[in-house]
Structure 1
Amino acid sequence: MKLLFCNIAWLDYYKGIYEGVDMPVGGGDYFKQTGDALEKYNFEAVEIEGGTEPYCLGFVETQNLKVKNKQLHIEKIKGCEEYNSKDSVEDVLVIYCAKHPAHNFITVVGWYKYATVYRYYQQMEFPSHIPDDDNLYIQDYNAIALAKNCVLLPRRERSLYNKWSVPKKTSGAAFGFGQSNLWFAQEDNEYVKAYLDKLIKQIKEYDGDNWLYEYPDIN
């Protein structure tokens, strides 16, 4: 199975930033500099030109202050070792993760099944959400999937450490995220296999609530 773990900023709903209601927690250099998080719309179902069904556009930061437009090395995804000259790969299970704001662990927040993952950032234009604003909002993304194949776990579900926690090497684990926001799960040992088998089974069998169409209460 083609698999990619992405570490992003925490939001409850990923439908944009709502001041004082749903604000990003964590994130990389871009967030620290701007107070913005480009992953803020990762779990908003949108209509795109030429599409017959809604899609989700996913973003994970691959650049930093020193390297702009750094590529996502899709050839590191298992089964894609020959993709050095390709700009995208299809049929990937993309698992989005974030550090829990109330507990000291990285947890799965949601996933895209059958996603297309891009080496470089893509862009798509959308009308502004602000009434009477004719400006276009440009959304960066490096993964896309049909909304029907996307799940955003409810906040309470994400808090289940034994079910959804994701290891981090810098915290002493033998596998998991390192310094990068990307984990390709390529470590070759029995512990990784057991962890992935358990997690993938949970994802396949998950039938709980999906917050993909839930929005913050701003009334």
Structure 2
Amino acid sequence: MSILFCSIGWMDNYAGISGDEIKNGGSFIEQNKVGGEIINFFPCNGKFYGYVRNKGNFNLNKLTSDKKIIKQGYVDGVDIIWVAKGNKGRVIVGWYRNARVYSKRQMITKDLGLPLVSDILKKQNMLSESDEKDEEGYYRFIANQEDCILLPVENRTLGVPSGKGFMGQTPFWYGQSNESKYFVNKVKKYINSSWQSIDNKKEIAKNNNSFLNSNIEQRLKTEKAAVQYVWGYYTNLGYELKSVEKDNLGWDLEARKNNNILKIEVKGLSGLGKQIQLSPNEYKYFLKNEPDYRLCIVNDALSDIKPNLFICFYDKERKSWLIENQNEIVVTCSKKVSAIIELS
């Protein structure tokens, strides 16, 4: 399988600029505080649409020797390794497995449901004619969401060497030099073993009706995909999102629109089940029945088509929990008692 390293600006989520920021991505990003890569992990119909700055076309001969494939204008089955510069230097922040790489840039059309970078820039009055030609709203790669991983910030520790035969100042690198063979093989082993993609349909089916997933890697990936999907959903509704996952408040996201703020707890399931578990702190806030609270349950979060989103809210008039735009599903809550046993 071919591999392509792409250097982009540093972000936490790459799912829109609201509630996040981009930095260390070159002069364009430094000037405009935005770039095409801000939507690299924005969930859209079960896929991710990747961008890296490239004023020309990709050399598909570097990815395949099949002339018929080159003639069609794209190559499938390529691993895209996303690289960005953080506090610890240039590191791998995530990847697309088995992606499609287009020779020429592809226009983002409105039917895709992706936000246009150019629209953001125009609102900020920071889009020049030359910038528009490159950042108008293009993508270079497509991959199934289940084949992609964005590493949490604390797990972005694998550095990318520089120097002769390694990735230089250009935004992309094919990793084909003799000097880089050991490093490239190390990266391939890393993405194949340390963070395996969850594409075993039998394993997913087995966990369809369970809210507890013993596969830690799958659970982390499912939770991340669910948060990204909800983030994209509310962004499309005009909200500005902020992650408070690490603040232990009892909810994961805050969505602001005008003077309204929603407190959103997100739960993801890998299968089609509709049962989730709240931690004691989450359950404590759930019981308050606040009108600004939303419990978002995303089942089939790793779907290559489109996950299912159920938005639960408390209706004070009916004094019950309901689901937005859903009349046939009932929200029930079963309290479970547990204990922590300590030997001292």
Q: Same fold (TM over 0.5)?
A: yes
Structural mapping, 1:38-187, within 5 Å? 38-47=36-45, 54-63=46-55, 70-77=56-63, 79-80=64-65, 82=67, 85-100=71-86, 102-103=87-88, 105-126=89-110, 127=113, 139-158=137-156, 160=157, 164-169=158-163, 174-187=164-177
Distance 1:128 1:194 in 2: 37
Shift of 1:177: 1.2
Determine the C-alpha separation between the residues in 2 that align with 1:128 and 1:116. 18
Alpha-carbon displacement from aligned partner over 1:124-148 (angstroms, at most 9, x marks no partner): 224587xxxxxxxx74100001101
Q: CA deviation at 1:86?
A: 4.5
Aligned counterparts of 1:60 and 1:80: Cα–Cα separation in 2:
23
* Structure exhibiting the larger radius of gyration computed from Cα positions: 2
Q: In the alignment, residue 13 of structure 2 is paired with which amino acid?
A: Y
1:31 aligns with 2:29: yes
Letter in 2 for 1:114: N
Aligned-residue offset at 1:91: 0.6
Q: Which amino acid aligns with 1:5?
A: F
Give the structure-2-normalised TM-score: 0.49
Structure 1 vs Structure 2: percent identity of aligned residues? 28
Q: Segments of 4+ in structure 1 off by > 4 A? A: 81-86
Letter in 2 for 1:185: G
Show CA shifts across 1:15-49 (max 9, x none). 1112xx411011134324433211001012211xx
Q: Tell me the amino acid that sits aligned with residue 49 of structure 2.
A: L
Structure-2 separation of matches of 1:193 and 1:175: 9
Residue type at the aligned position of 1:61: R
Number of residues of Structure 1 aligned to a counterpart in Structure 2: 184
Distance 2:40 2:169 in 1: 22
Name stretches of at least 5 consecutive residues in structure 2 with no aligned partner.
116-135, 196-216, 229-241, 244-252, 255-344
Considering Cα pairs closer than 8 Å and 6+ residues apart, tell me whether 1 or 2 has the greater RCO.
Answer: 1
Q: Which has the higher helix share?
A: 2
Assess if the C-alpha contact under 8 Å between 1:59 and 1:142 holds in 2. yes
Distance 2:189 2:172 in 1: 21
| C-alpha separation in 2, matches of 1:16 and 1:154 | 16
8 Å CA contact retained: 2:42, 2:114: no
Query: Which digits, 9 at most, give the CA deviation of each residue in 1:55-80, with x for residues without a partner?
Result: 000000012xxxxxx21222223x34
